[in-house]
Structures are given as structure tokens and as C-alpha cells.
Amino acid sequence: MLTKTFVIQNPTGLHARPASLFVQKATSFNCEVSLVKGTKKVNGKSIMGVMTLGAAKGDEITLEVSGEQEQAAMEELGRILEMVHE
């Protein structure tokens, strides 16, 4: 299992567009993907789960990946979390 914490930089948070991009990419990997904010942990392959986090700018989100493609998933999904979307 790999874990890494990211700070959301997007001025509007992890809203629908970046959440959708994240989930779409997450489902392409053969591994488990979770996002954690505070005490709430959600399935990173579920748009509803990601949206329920309510991640705003400045929030810390921990990405957890576990499985066959965990390294590639961490790199690609981490890039999405670090991007500043409009």
C-alpha cells in the first residue's frame, strides 16, 4: 500500500470536473483507490464518494492505493490532485 497527502490547490476545491477526471483515471488501474479527508474515507473509484468529501481549497486529502498497479496509480492520480483546475 502506498499513501501520500496532498493539499487541494484548486480555488473551487475538488468539484465535479476534477472529481470526474480523478474517478475516470482511478477506474483504469487494477488496484484499490481510496481518498481520506479527516476521519472520512471513500472509494476513489466512486464519483459519489469523491464528491461527498467536500474537499475545498487548502484541505489535506490522503490518497491510498493498494494492488498490482499501485505505483502507476499514485503517480497519475497524484498529478490530478495537484493540478489547479478552473
- The number of folded domains in the chain is 1
Contact 73, 29 (CB under 8 A): yes
Predicted TM-score of the model (pTM): 0.93
What CATH number should be reported for the domain holding residue 13? 3.30.1340.10
85 is catalytic: no
Q: Amino acid letter at 54?
A: G
Contact 50, 21 (CB under 8 A): no
What does the pLDDT look like over 42-72, one tens digit per residue? Answer: 999 999 999 999 999 999 999 999 999 999 9
pLDDT of residue 85: 59
Domain boundaries, position 9: 2-82
Euclidean distance between CA atoms 41 and 55, whole angstroms: 12
> Which phi and psi (to 5°) does residue 76 adopt?
-70, -45
| Choice among 2, 4, 13, 15 that is catalytic | 15
DSSP 67: E
